[in-house]
Amino acid sequence: MTRETTERSTTTSDPTRERTLGAVYALAAYLIWGFLPLYFLLLEPTGAFEVVAWRILLSLVFCVLLLAITRGWGKFLVILRTRRLLLWTAVAGILIYINWQVFLIAALTGHVIETSLGYFINPIVTVLLGVVVLRERLRITQWVALAIAAVACIVIAVGYGAFPWIALSLAFSFGLYGLVKKQIGPAVDAVSGLTLETLWLTPVAIAVLVSVGLTSGITWGTAGVGHAVLLLMAGVVTATPLLFFAAGARRVPLSLIGLLQFLAPILQFLTGAFLLGEPMPLERWIGFSLVWIALVVLTVDSIRHARRGVSDVGAVT
């Protein structure tokens, strides 16, 4: 076998195998995200801002090690020479920082259920972003889902007596993050992308740690060996699902990603409501029920549209 033939065989992948691999990657990402609140609760007494700072720095270290192990420096240097890709990774870094910070504040202050609401709303926000940013035209059922979700947010805000800023911040920050990832496309591999995102955020992380050190004090190394080890694992725990997500999203249809992404908020909801005992008054149940109805409408519409597209293609061929 010639060198050219070898290179061709290694770069040409079986589509079925790639889709299966992508589904496994995406499933792993959402499973990890679903149980993340329990991990972060183990990091007490470390505050939310210090945890996020360590997440950034340790994720960068983890990604650099991965680049070295996988010999990905060539791809990484190509991206560094492309101004457009650098700009998009910087935007992605800002969005994922907002997402991380809001999530940690919520998880460590007894609002895990509201984080689950944010990720339940996320698919609906993605549809909304398609209209506003990509100028996509919505089908009637998609408009119905958006309307139901809007009513749900109003019910929760009025009944609970507070604007659901945690849920909406998480939904929009991760929705925009996914949009940026789609804009970048396959030009940036998962490891290089996350390396750059955390690299841009490194000055912010250092500033936060300096501020924490001068005020309340750094907690790493002050709460025992077990706590120190768990905090050191923050980089791996942070980077792994993001890498799985990036690798999976490039291999499977958006319809499958849309179905799998319900797994994380379901696990977070169960954690908050039944393991942590967070309150679920009537207005919350009504609001969540409306969101779930909106998601059912959106999911059924997406599946029907995807099947119709396949049948149309089959009729043409």
The more confident residue out of 170 and 12 is: 170
The string of pLDDT tens digits covering residues 56-95 is 999 999 999 999 998 889 889 999 999 999 999 999 999 9
The confidence score (pLDDT) of residue 164 equals 85
What pLDDT score was predicted for residue 306? 65
Locate 207 and state its tokens. Answer: 């500033």
Would 307 be classed as within a structural domain?
yes
- Per-residue confidence (pLDDT) for residue 309, from 0 to 100: 55
> At 164, is the secondary structure helix, strand, or coil?
coil
Confidence label for 239 from pLDDT (cuts 50, 70 and 90): confident
Residue 13 lies inside a defined structural domain of this protein = no
> Is residue 3 in some structural domain?
no
Mean local confidence (pLDDT), 279-298? 87
Number of domains in the chain: 1
Whole-number pLDDT of residue 124: 82
State the amino acid at position 299 in one-letter form. Answer: T
| Residue 182: per-residue pLDDT | 78
Do the domain assignments include residue 1?
A: no
Owning domain of residue 127 = 25-312
Does any domain span residue 181? yes
Does 120 have pLDDT greater than 90? no
% of the chain with per-residue pLDDT over 90: 35
pLDDT score recorded for residue 200: 96
Q: What is the mean pLDDT of residues 275-285?
A: 88
Question: With 70 as the cut, is the pLDDT of residue 286 above it?
Answer: yes
Write down the pLDDT at residue 311: 47
Which residue, chain included where needed, has tokens 């504040």?
A: 105
Is position 14 within any domain? no
Residue 4 pLDDT > 60: no
275: nearest Cα among 145, 119, 107: 107
Dihedral sign computed on CA atoms, order 90, 204, 120, 160: negative
| pLDDT value, residue 135 | 76
Residue 221 lies in a domain: yes
For residues 90 and 260, the model is more confident at: 90
Name the pTM for this structure: 0.82
% helix, strand, coil for the chain, step of 5: 80, 0, 20
Give the model confidence (pLDDT) of 32-59 as tens digits.
989 889 999 999 899 999 999 999 999 9
Query: How would DSSP label each residue in 156-221?
Result: HHHHHTS--HHHHHHHHHHHHHHHHHHHHGGGS-HHHHHHHHHHHHHHHHHHHHHHHHHTT---TT
Residue 20 within any structural domain of the chain: no
